Structure 1
Amino acid sequence: MHIGEILARNARMYPDDIALVERIAATKTRIEITWKDFDERANKFSNILMEKGIKKGDKVAHWMQNSIDWLIAYFGIVRTGAWVVPLNFRFIAEEMKYCVDVAEPSVFVFDEEFTDRIGAVKEQLATVRSYICVGKNIPAFAESFHALMEKADVTPLNTPLTFTDPCGLYFTSGTTGQPKPILLTHNNMANACIVENVHHRQTKEDVFILIPPLYHTGAKMHWFGHFIVGSKAVILRGFSPEWVFEAISEEGGTVLWCLVPWVQDILIKLDKGEMKLSDYKIDQWRLLHMGAQPIPPALVKHWRKYFPTMQYDTSFGLSESTGPGCVDLRIGNEHKIGAIGLPGFNWEYKVVDDDGSIVPRGTPGELCVRGNGVMREYYKNPEATAKALKDGWLFTGDMVRVDEDGFIWIVDRKKDVIISGGENIFPAEVEDFLHTLPAVKDVAAIGMPDERLGEIVAVVVDIIPGKTLTEEEILKHCEGLMKYKRPRKIFFGEIPRNPTGKIEKVKLRKKYTGRGEAFKL
């Protein structure tokens, strides 16, 4: 059963039950749909796409903020047999264009807020022949999503699909700083549903509070554990501790997946007395799941001050493994907080040295995982695929050790990725961007520890002798980067490089952050 069939099954079994709720903080708006409504609207969008010539194996770009319509469009696309191409809503126009050039979609569905960004490069998007805009202010080059939906046929397409068929092209940052396209299949998605449900024991009675962006494999795959059993999900637009607790209280929320900064914001409010737990109905809330970056043990201990009996879990994953779950701490293993956990359900692992040989327990090595969640390939990149996939094993690029109880601990990041607020930032992208400043001789980007975000971007800049460059000029220049990628700390000095020309980032980290490893819990 592929995910489109799971939606149809839920509509048959629970037609009048609420499937999705959308709560918009800015307008205090609440929208809900039943499983029957959800299924029929997905059918409508799939028929709209088929009328536009979309067929199995085509691609549809999908650039939207979290919403009910996000998921309607998603399921409408996969039911045609096309590949959905979810795009990061933080992309600037050129980043979006890069992804569209690689994916070559025929249709582009987008929220109205992205109209200007699309318009800036529209004439260069050679493969896109049709634009569909979600919202009220529809540009001249697009058709209205809602107008099309009003008159669309609700009949199911019943496109023949197999588990091995691709269904999504997800972009993640590559080692060069450019996003890499990851091809995922219907089998990957079905496996994510099962793994997530096994790990977190969701039932029909659970209510999931969904905050992180759906273009991430993480948010969607955590929801899949609820989706497979037909339980309600609440999509929150906007974040504040009060908004989250209000949703949990009013919607009967039982499971919350949160990033570290959001948990810290909640705790700050509680510590200051700006929020009181007694003002909310939260007795039913059973599980806090934190992820997307290393979890400080002190944070969980702090959480326990207010929620002593609540279940807790964290998991590890990457887009190449269809998001989280290839390693999972498991509920009940708080004595091992700091570890990323045990192999996920139906996953196996090994830890190897640079030669691919398995290392003894306790010895650091590269984590490799194998299971039904492993991607098919890096699309159009056979060299990167061959490097990452060997005999069914996914080489993650993360250095780990395994303790005496079999729990896996990350000890370093082989690829020097900076994780800030759950977002992966590749130093090379920041470095290449700063190298466009005429006064820059050399530059290096490193992660600096940050209590709230896990890490922030710090840069060390070496200026060409005789030229000048100020911190203010660098910050102004970096407005061309997505906000979370912009440097928060700027240092000036020489960049150490080894004889082969590679930046010696261990030396830089020791000098500017007091640590040699990429990060340490």
Structure 2
Amino acid sequence: MPITDLLERNSKLYGDETALVEINPEVREEQRVTWKEYELIQPTGDAPYRREITWSIFDEKANRVANMLLGRGLKRGQKVAILMMNCLEWLPIYFGILKTGAIAVPLNFRYTSDEIEYCLKLADTDVLFFGPEFTGRMEPIVPKINRQMLLFFAGEQCPAFAEDYLRATANCSSRAPKILVDDEDEAAIYYSSGTTGFPKAILLKHTALMQSARMEAIHHETTHEDVFLCIPPLYHTGAKMHWFGSLFTGSKAVLLKGNSPSAIFQAASQEQATIVWLLVPWAQDILAALDRGELKIEDYQLSQWRLMHIGAQPVPPSLIKHWLTYFPHHKYDTNYGLSECTGPGCVHLGLENVHKVGAIGIPGYGWKIKIVDEQNQPVQQGDVGELCVKGPGVMVCYYHNPEATGEVLENGWLHTGDMARQDGDGFVFLVDRKKDVIISGGENLYPVQIEDFLSAYPKVHDVAVIGLPDKRLGEIAAAIIQVKEGMTCTESEINQFCMDLPRYKRPRKIIFAPIPRNPTGKIEKPRLREQYCGVRLVEAQNQG
């Protein structure tokens, strides 16, 4: 079954029920509503701007997009990119693309003009839908991209070089196009995070998307009555594949445009969210606001919130232990994955395994794992090696990059580039990225282990550990620490706290500075290395 069949099924079974809600706390009622079919609840006082669509309207909108594209000559296997912020238009456009048999290509909303141009060309893009936030970035590259590329604008004040997509779809049929889409058809191209240069294009089949939807619903015991609060960007496999659990069960999801602690609590309360996926920085911000008394649980209706899960990066055990002091009734899950394996879930902790906090978990539904050494041989249990995964969500290839594909795919096994170990109970513990391992005086230092340790210090809000060049040892560990708001911290405090670490694991440099993270919550270590490696470090006394 292709992923599009789920949308059509939901339209038939739950047509009048709410499928998607968009909440934007920073937009008020003067904002024009773009789709008349939306039920609009106008804000009053401090209430946020809110729109919603039903499953039947969702499906009809996707059909209009599909029929418009087919009418413009789009063929099976051609590429259609989406460059938009999270909004109600995003997913109907995505599914409209898939209904044509074409391949959807979501683009990172942080891409510069050069990166947009690069990704459009790499994917052989034939059509692009973009939002008003990107007009300025599109203008300089329009003369450089394929003159035959169709450009559709989703918003107000359509630029001269594009078409208004609402007008283009207005008179198109709302019935499903008669295009046969198969499980084995190629469905989407997602881009890697680009931490080692320009991003790579990851090609996925409908089989992979369906695996993700089924797996998400099974892992999190999602039912039709659940309400999923989705905050991360939809261009990323993380947010999309977690939402697929709602698609699989025909349940409501809320797209929140904002990640402040109060906005998250307000949306969860207002929409009666039962499942919330948070990135580490947002969970940290919520806990800090609760600790300071700025956020009070009793001011919101949160008793229905049953599950908090986190992924996209290693999660400090101290964070979850802190979280459960405020929400002892919450079930918790950690989800591990890469875009190369259709996002989160190839390894997951499991709702019943909170006693294993610190592990990324066990093989997910339909997945196999192994941990291997440099010769691709399985390591002894407990030893550190590279984590490899195999299952129906593994990518087809890096599009137009057979060399890179060959480096990570072998007989269906995906080499993740993550170093891990497995305990006696079969639980996998992520040690670090293979490329992030610090070799100091011949010893391997795993930054994640040091970061987890430092995260437990009460004054630490966020932390990143990187290797800095050293003439004698080759590299030394440097800890960049972001101190909690309103607090001060000194190097001597951190050094004293680190006395409980083995000597060789103690950071040799302490730097107090903000921690940069990308939209999916991952620490941007290449930026930190660029900033600090080879540069004379001036140690700060404190940061408040």
Q: Which bin holds the TM-score, normalised by the shorter protein?
A: 0.7 to 0.9
In the aligned structure 2, how far is the partner of 1:274 from the partner of 1:98?
Answer: 44
Correspondences of 1:88-107 after superposition (within 5 Å): 88-107=108-127
Q: Which residue of 1 aligns with 2:21?
A: 21
What is the deviation of 1:448? 4.8
What are the within-5 Å matches in structure 2 for residues 88-487 of structure 1?
A: 88-126=108-146, 128-173=148-193, 176-416=196-436, 448-450=479-481, 486-487=527-528
What's 2:55 paired with? 35
Please state how far the C-alpha of 1:243 moved relative to its aligned partner: 1.0
State the alpha-carbon separation in 2 of the partners of residues 451 and 404 from structure 1: 35
RMSD of aligned residue pairs (Cα, Å):
2.7
Q: Deviations for 1:161-220, whole angstroms, at most 9, x for unmatched residues? A: 211111111111457411000000100000000111111000000000000001110001
**Offset, 1:490:** 3.9
Alignment deviations for residues 375-431 of structure 1 (CA, whole Å, 9 cap, x no partner) = 0001111111112111111111111111011000112311339999xxxx9x9xxxx
Q: Work out whether residues 15 and 34 of structure 1, in 8 Å CA contact, stay in contact via their aligned partners in 2.
A: yes
Q: CA deviation at 1:237?
A: 0.9
Deviation at 1:240, TM superposition (A): 1.2
Q: How has the CA–CA distance of structure 1 residues 119 and 446 changed in structure 2, closer, same or farther, with 3 Å as cutoff?
A: farther
What is the alpha-carbon distance in structure 1 between the residues aligned to residue 426 and residue 229 of structure 2? 31
CA offsets, 1:282-317, max 9 Å, x none?
110000001111111111111112101111111110
Contact 1:210 1:223 in 2 (8 A): yes
Question: How much has 1:492 moved relative to structure 2?
Answer: 6.6
Tell me: CA distance 1:139–1:53, structure 2 relative to 1, closer, same or farther (3 Å). same
Classify 1:447/1:194 alpha carbon distance in 2 versus 1 (closer, same or farther; 3 Å). farther
**Following the alignment from structure 1 to structure 2, what is the Cα–Cα distance between the partners of residues 203 and 452?**
40
Aligned-pair CA distance for 1:333: 1.1
* Cα deviation 1:446-493 (Å, max 9, x = unaligned): 98555689xxxxxxxxxxxxxxxxxxxxxxxxxxxxx96754994474
Distance 1:236 1:269 in 2: 19
Q: CA 1:345–1:100 in structure 2 vs 1: closer, same or farther (change >3 Å)?
A: same
- Look up the match of 1:80: 100
Measure how far apart 1:104 and its partner are.
Answer: 1.5
Q: Which stretch has the larger CA shift, 251-260 or 354-363?
A: 354-363
> 2:128 is matched by which residue type in structure 1?
F
1:299-355: CA deviation from partner (whole Å, max 9, x where unpaired): 111111210111111111000000010000111211211111101111011111111
Is 1:42–1:76's contact at 8 Å kept on the other side of the alignment? Answer: yes
DSSP-derived class of the 1:120 partner: coil
1:11 aligns to what? 11
Q: 1:213 to 1:445 in 2, by over 3 A?
A: farther
CA contact (8 A) 1:264 1:452 kept: no
Please say if residues 105 and 128 of structure 1, whose CA atoms lie closer than 8 Å, have aligned partners that are also in contact.
Answer: no
Partners in 1 of 2:294 and 2:419 — Cα distance? 41
Structural mapping, 1:42-81, within 5 Å: 42-81=62-101
Alpha-carbon shift at residue 445 of structure 1 (Å): 13
Paired residues of 1:209 and 1:255 also in contact (CA < 8 A): yes
Greater Cα shift, 76-85 or 146-155: 146-155
Gaps of 5+ in 2: 28-47, 438-446, 452-463, 467-474, 485-522, 540-544
Taking the aligned partners of 1:281 and 1:60, their CA distance within structure 2 comes to 41
Q: Report the Cα distance in structure 1 between the residues aligned to 2:167 and 2:49, rounded to whole angstroms.
A: 21
d(CA) in 2 for partners of 1:74 and 1:321? 19
Give the residue type in structure 1 aligned to 2:86: N
Q: Does the 8 Å CA contact 1:170/1:319 hold for their aligned counterparts? A: yes
Contact residue 221 and residue 324 of structure 1 kept, 8 A: yes
Q: Give the residue type in structure 2 aligned to 1:23.
A: I
Q: Taking structure 2 as the reference length, what is the TM-score of the superposition?
A: 0.78
Report deviation, 1:148.
2.1
Distance across 2 between alignment mates of 1:389 and 1:489? 30
Change (3 A) 1:451 1:330: farther
Amino acid at match of 1:14: Y
The DSSP-based 3-state class of the residue aligned with 1:309 is coil
Q: How many angstroms apart in 1 are the aligned matches of 2:17 and 2:194? A: 42
Runs of 4+ deviating beyond 3 Å: 173-176, 417-420, 444-453, 483-495
Q: Using a 3 Å threshold, how does the CA distance of structure 1 residues 382 and 65 change in structure 2: closer, same or farther?
A: same
SS in 1 for 2:370: strand
Distance in 1, matches of 2:349 and 2:154, equals: 39
- CA separation in 2, counterparts of 1:293 and 1:70? 25
Amino acid corresponding to residue 26 of structure 2 in structure 1: A
The separation in 1 between residues aligned to 2:194 and 2:529, in whole angstroms, is: 22
Aligned residue pair count? 449
User: Is the Cα–Cα contact under 8 Å of residues 313 and 331 in structure 1 kept in the other structure?
Assistant: yes
Structure 1 unaligned blocks of 5 or more? 428-443, 454-482, 496-507, 513-521
Amino acid at match of 2:63: N
Distance 2:148 2:535 in 1: 46
| Contact 1:106/1:127 (<8 A) preserved | no
Within 5 Å, give how 1:480-519 maps onto structure 2: 486-487=527-528, 490-491=531-532, 493=534
Distance across 1 between alignment mates of 2:132 and 2:479: 36
Partner of 2:491: none
